[in-house]
Amino acid sequence: MDVQKYIASGILELYIAGILSEKENLEIANYAKAYPEIQNEIVAIEASILELSKKASPGLKYSFKSIMDKINDEIKVISLDDKRSSSLLSYVGWAASLLLAVGMFWMYQQNQELKSDIQVVEQQNNSLEQQIADTDSSLGKTKELLNTIRDKNIRVISLGGQEISPTSYAKAYWNKENQKVYIDAKGLPEPPDGFVYQVWSLKLSPLTPTSMGLLEGFILDENKVFALNNPNESEAFGITLEPAGGSESPTLEQLYTLGVVSAS
């Protein structure tokens, strides 16, 4: 190849300008290795551009050290930033999901507690309503009872304790109009198992007892007031302890209380 002609073509100047194709660049690099004249020419052309550009230089403001410092700072900043942002992000992410899980668990717990609280309160509510109903009904009964014994037709007969139980007492509230007797048996002892109190209407001469009924459920009855029918022309009332189910005629040895109807 004609080296001088190649040099004279001006392609080496363009090589230094960096505006040739990759193929041309590679070709010239190979020629430069093979032909020292070409290599020298390249260096000389480059030197002229180096000289020209150097003359246009405003001088160096930054030392090489300051440039390396900046490069190292950038690396630090980048790696620091990366670490921070990624670790911070992941921390924040984990913290958020943990918080969410804890929060949801807490809310679930709260919900369960509230549900069970509601159940307890509902039960309490029911029981209170029941108590109110009971009290109402108890109050109603008491009022009814009070009205009953206050009735102007009521006659009150005190039944005193007899030989077998001198401390016993009872009261009979007799409404002769509607043939009812209310026995207040609060002053009687609880009957032993298998026995029951029996109330008798008595005619005195001759002594004729007529059974008015049993004080059933004595132990469980709260106010110990029992209503009995009494169609008889009673002159006295007596209460005897009889075997469960009652007797045809009173067992006089077991007469607990007795009271005579005063003549009105």
Q: Where along the sequence are the contacts to another protein (CB under 8 A)?
A: 8-11, 13-20, 22, 25-26, 29, 42, 44-62, 64, 66-68, 70-71, 74
Q: Which is nearer to another protein, 48 or 179 (CB)?
A: 48
Identify the CA nearest to 178 among candidates 155, 209, 200.
155
* Minimal distance, residue 86 CB to another protein, in Å: 21
Its sign, for the CA torsion 246, 249, 255, 259, is positive
Nearer to another protein, 39 or 158 (CB): 39
The letter for the amino acid at 224 is K
Minimum distance from residue 105 beta carbon to another protein (Å): 49
Tokens of 151: 């009735």
CB of 107 to another protein, least distance (A): 52
- Single-letter amino acid code for the residue at 137: S
Residue 180 and residue 229 in contact, taking contact as beta carbons nearer than 8 Å? yes
For residue 93, the minimal CB distance to another protein (Å) is 31
Kindly tell me which of 70 and 83 has the beta carbon lying closer to another protein: 70
Q: Where are the alpha helices (DSSP H) in 56-187?
A: 64-150
The single residue listed with the structure tokens 């007899």 is 162
* 48 vs 153, beta carbon nearer another protein: 48
Joined together, the tokens standing for residue 29 give 């690099």
- Helix 22-34, helix 36-55: angle, nearest 10: 120
Closer of 38 and 157 to another protein (Cβ): 38
Q: How far is the CB of 84 from another protein (least distance, A)?
A: 21
- Nearer Cβ to another protein (67/139): 67
Task: Say what the alpha-carbon torsion angle 60, 62, 65, 70 is, to the nearest 10 degrees.
Answer: -140
CB of 75 to another protein, least distance (A): 9
